[in-house]
Chain A
Amino acid sequence: MIMNFEYVLLIILLPLLSFLITGLTGMKYKPIWSGIIGTVSLGLSFSLSWFTAIKYFFAYGKIDAQGVLGDTFLKLTPWNINWLQLSPTLHIDMGIMLDPISVMMLVVVTTVSLMAHIYSIGYMKGEDGFVRFFSFLSLFSFSMLGLVVATNLFQMYIFWELVGVSSYLLIGYYYQKPSAVSASKKAFIVTRFADLGFLVGILILSYFTQTFDFKELVSPEGPVLGHPITAMFMGTSVLVWSMILIFMGGAGKSAMFPLHIWLPDAMEGPTPVSALIHAATMVVAGVYLVARLIPVYAIQAPAALEVVGYVGAFSSLFAAIIATTQFDIKRVLAFSTMSQIGYMMVGLGMSGYGGHEGLGYMASMFHLFTHAMFKALLFLAAGAIIHAVHSNVMNEMGGLRKYLPITHITFLIATLTIAGVPGLSAFFSKDEILVAAYHHNKFIYYIQLFVAGLTAFYMFRLYFRVFWNTEPHYHHTPHESPLTMTIPLMFLAFMAIFSGYIPFHDLVTSDGKALETHAEYIVMIPAILVGFIGIGMAWVMYKKETDIPDKISQSLRGIYTTIYHKFYIDEVYMFITHRILFRGISQPIAWFDKHVIDGTLDGMGKTTELVSDRIKGLQSGQLQKYAFVFVTGVIILLLSVLYFAA
């Protein structure tokens, strides 16, 4: 029996509908209705996504069009239309593709989005732009869902940009705040710049392969991978170039070094937005993109995959180091996100295609899933903390465990998870990534092991500073958040604990076949150890107020300030854009535009005016003159026609 998955279209269209309804008519009724409409539509999408996932993974995913049960998960296309026919072979489609990773992403996106929706009803209560907020949130959900089910690169690109726009709109939600406005612009411009690479990559790839379609692109026996492209550019095959350029787009969205500078600033947006977009879904789009094309990377462009791995490893180390010095709790979490995405990229970089070679791929997707749950939880809990003390800075917090019991417990669960404590979800996923790295590249393995320790340290630093340590003087006693906010926390805490027990190696693998995995103690034990070392150091330094952190920062003053200022990367960007681009290139071009081009056009305009003024005498109002012109016109016409005829 074959399952008809056409209803999946509804999962994507429901949030669009809610966006249109709340966006167009939201001001006509009480704001709370927008929240309810958004939440209900997302709730439906959520239920349908889980239903789809269960049906796909456990019943119908391996059954082909003839109804034969195979051993491989298939790429199903329940719905597809030919949207633009560019050439006989090249066309842009709009459609829905279901395969293990897209189904998994449907679940991730709708789950986190639903939690963010419910949470926002409490968190955003009484804000001026309540309706606007919910309509944008729906727009984002629609775009993100369209992105994950894309059947081809171009559809993905279109939704990719839509996601960027919704992110821009939501970061700039508090548009009266100059910092929010500049953060939204920064995010948009940086990711747009990266997307330029993405677009060029798509164009190069499609020029040589004559297709945008994922199925054709990634099928290892298919027309694309079966006939390798031999064209070269600067000593490297064009395919590698295009795959690196496509990864550039992914690196921009996923905040990989050096395109990461927008992510910390993006924390200017409301906290549910940070949880949904800048922790769980949009920022992993880059990982998803690379995963989508993994056969092309692994078989045809291993050099590009190498780049992915190294960029991921460096970013993860870089971000973890910065996270240890930050005081704004959302920024710590932002750098932590960047670091964890680095992990996923490492997983992909350490992966091959098919069989046990694809362990890194499976691990990366596994980590994407667990990370979405515990990182969304961390952000939402951080939101609850901010809600209670009205500050982002950890210096103004402390001892909150007494006032916010639910937030405290859920936050602790998430922190233990990210630290890699055995039994919790991230322990399994991170372990798989480390195993993949251990077998492929020892150097990267040691980096990632060190980062695992750092992660445990900075996360527990955050935890102890907020919930233990010395209690500052609160203006009014912090109190626990309403149920709408704590229910999502509890649900996500549940997911953070137990999502590690989902058998990913059976479900989500590079070639769709089940994979045998077994515990490798040589990797697992050091990972557990560094985790506990990190926790222990944080315990000593931050559980009670001590002078150890100050002493360390004093003795390493130079290094400390460099790290505190995020290695001055923002300043480097400022220097390049202002000093070199604006002054060296933009200003001369502006001069040319103002004086030469405008001057020419002004001259043309003035000439036109002048001629127009000169010929107005023709219109004298005298009938005999009109007749004269008429007859003259006939004669001129006649002479010229006779001349040409002869």
Chain B
Amino acid sequence: MNLQTFLLMRHEIILMIIILVMLAAEIFSDDKKNTYNLSIISIILFAIHTIIGYLPGEQGTLFGKMYINSELTVQMKNILNIGVLIVLLQASQWLRKPENEGKTTEFSLLIYSTLLGMYFMISSGNFLMLFIGLETATIPVATLAAYDKYRNQSSEAGIKLLLSSALSSGILLFGLSMIYAVAGTFYFEQISSNLATMSHTPALLALGMIFFIAGMAFKISLVPFHLWTADVYEGAPVPVTSYLSVVSKGASVFIFTIVLYTVFKSMLVLWTDAVIGIAVATMIIGNLFALRQKNMKRFLAFSSIAQAGFILLGTVAGSQFGMSTVLYFVLIYIFSNLAAFGVVSIISYSTGKESMNDYKGLYNTNPKLSLIMMLALFSLAGIPPVAGFFGKFFLFMASAEQGYYYFVLIAVLNTIISLYYYLLPVKAMFIDTNETPIEPLKSELLPKIALVLCVVGLLVIGFASPVFEYLKEISFGI
């Protein structure tokens, strides 16, 4: 191994360096007030890291194919980086609040740690590596959920996340051991080649696969493994919730799709049925819960469950087109969901108002925020010409191409239901009147940059066909 091969891990290495630098800076600075400046520096470092991610690099494997670096994994990490960067920018205003004094650096450190776990998870070529990455990604998130540790709800969220993910990890690990029992190896490549030689699928392997699916479904919060989501999303601070609902979910979907497409490609018939069943349940239950929410944060959290069901439309396709639609949708979803969360958090930090009724007449006092919110909700609902429409449209196409017409029909019906609740806040903001509307707000520079990034993404990505073409080029199918 030499320096050249090490550079294959540039994402991980740079992120680790940032973590170490921040840790050292945190330890050696004894001025409590400076911690905010430190978090600014960390954002700048991360922005540089994000840009470096886009520089062209070489592809290859490391550690005896435990670690895989391909154009696909690089772009997946880049997509996550964009999400994390926006979350960090949005969180900066919240981190300045007096109750967060003294622990601002921890926030970014913990985020970086989970992101590091996700990197390893995405790049894994071996189930053990995947599991380690997964755990590295999960445990700091539990800490993050309990970030407001003096608030009961927040610490409850942390402990609930920890306990439930212990259960899911246990089941996942159990499944992996069964797979090992049948295939005799943890390497993705070898498992799939061993499976290809078998004349029929052993029941034990099917069991292992189901356990694996359940474990991943927990991370993506798919029904019926999603119940932790509501409590954790509600209890955790807003930036953590937006991180969980976007970045964490995206990373899990990525590796879930990769594993299904590589390791279990010979069992396509088995897992498509299972995944379709889960997806349908997720869309329906997620929608039904989102329908009732009057609190904007809970509303966005539940709608993100339904969105995860839609992403599976691309996974189920099992084609190159299918995988590219997953990447494309997650990219767009990052922009739309974070734009919505951005507006909600700005209003929540400045006024403490989170109810949908408080948003009535927002357009009269804060036209820009309302317009951004409207764009974001249109994108989530899939209304053209915003990017979300193209994302959803391609997902539907990928699934329809493989002949899953009923599945697509159910998804379309669910889109209609989602239209209802996505338009409720729009109606509140633009049509309803309010005697005590939210006063005109002035947001800080960094959250503003985050919102501008989101809006540009929302408006441009749908029409910029090279983006999708490129993602399609680097994707692979079964």
Contacts and interface: CB of A to CB of B under 8 A. Distances in A.
B224 A629 contact: yes
Interface string A580-622: 0000000000000000000000000100110111011011010
B interface: dominant SS: helix
A630 B291 contact: no
A519 interface: no
B213 to A, nearest CB: 7
B469 interface: no
Interface stretch (A101-109, A277-285, A635-643): A635-643
Nearest to B275: A637
Contacts of B224: 629-630, 632-633
B129 interface: no
Interface string B285-304: 10011011000000000000
A171 B225 CA distance: 62
Given A615-B288, A634-B171, A642-B203, A626 B210 contact: no
B228 A626 contact: yes
B167 A630 contact: yes
Given A608-B288, A611-B288, A619-B289, A630 B168 contact: yes
B277 A642 contact: no
Given A619-B227, A626-B227, A634 B273 contact: no
Contacts of A608: 288, 291, 417
A644 interface: yes
A interface: dominant SS: helix
Given A629-B227, A633-B224, A634-B171, A623 B164 contact: yes
Given A626-B164, A630-B167, A641 B273 contact: yes
A637 B291 contact: no
Contact of B206 (A605, A613, A641): A641
A645 interface: yes
A641 B289 contact: no
A613 B277 contact: no
A627 interface: yes
Contacts of A633: 214, 223-225
Interface in B254-307: 269-270, 273-274, 277-278, 285, 288-289, 291-292
B288 A630 contact: no
A598 B231 CA distance: 37
Interface string B200-214: 010100110011011
B218 interface: yes
Interface string A24-42: 0000000000000000000
A641 B274 contact: yes
Given A627-B164, A630-B167, A642-B206, A637 B213 contact: yes
A94 B291 CA distance: 46
Contact of B273 (A611, A632, A640): A640
Nearest to B175: A634
A618 B226 CA distance: 11
A645 B218 contact: no
B285 A615 contact: yes
A202 B289 CA distance: 50
B214 A634 contact: yes
Contacts of B292: 612-613, 616
A306 to B, nearest CB: 46
A623 B163 contact: yes
Given A623-B160, A629-B224, A645 B167 contact: no
A642 B271 CA distance: 11
Contacts of A612: 288-289, 291-292
A642 B203 CA distance: 7
Contacts of A645: 201, 203, 206, 270
B62 interface: no
- Which of B203, B225, B227, B274 has most chain A Cβ within 10 Å? B227
B412 to A, nearest CB: 14
A616 B227 CA distance: 11
A611 B273 CA distance: 25
B230 interface: yes
Contacts of A634: 171, 210-211, 214
B368 to A, nearest CB: 19
A612 to B, nearest CB: 4
B273 A609 contact: no
Nearest to A609: B291
B112 to A, nearest CB: 29
Nearest to B302: A619
B446 to A, nearest CB: 31
A637 B227 contact: no
Nearest to A611: B288
Contacts of B164: 623, 626-627, 630
A178 B160 CA distance: 66
B176 to A, nearest CB: 14
A597 to B, nearest CB: 14
Contacts of B278: 637
A623 B274 CA distance: 25
Contacts of B163: 623
A618 B227 CA distance: 8
Interface in A81-104: none
Interface string B164-203: 1001100100000000000000000000000000000101
Nearest to B167: A627
B277 to A, nearest CB: 7
Contacts of B206: 638, 641-642, 645
Given A626-B228, A630-B167, A645-B203, 14 more contacts: A613-B292, A615-B285, A616-B289, A623-B160, A623-B164, A625-B227, A630-B164, A630-B168, A630-B224, A637-B214, A637-B274, A641-B206, A641-B210, A645-B270
12 contacts: A619-B289, A621-B231, A623-B163, A629-B224, A630-B171, A630-B224, A630-B227, A633-B214, A642-B206, A644-B273, A645-B201, A645-B206
Q: Can you list the 10 inter-chain pairs with the closest CB atoms, starting with the nearest? A: A633-B224, A612-B288, A626-B227, A634-B214, A638-B210, A612-B291, A629-B224, A619-B230, A641-B274, A637-B210
Interface of A: 605, 608-609, 611-613, 615-616, 618-619, 621, 623, 625-627, 629-630, 632-634, 637-638, 640-642, 644-645
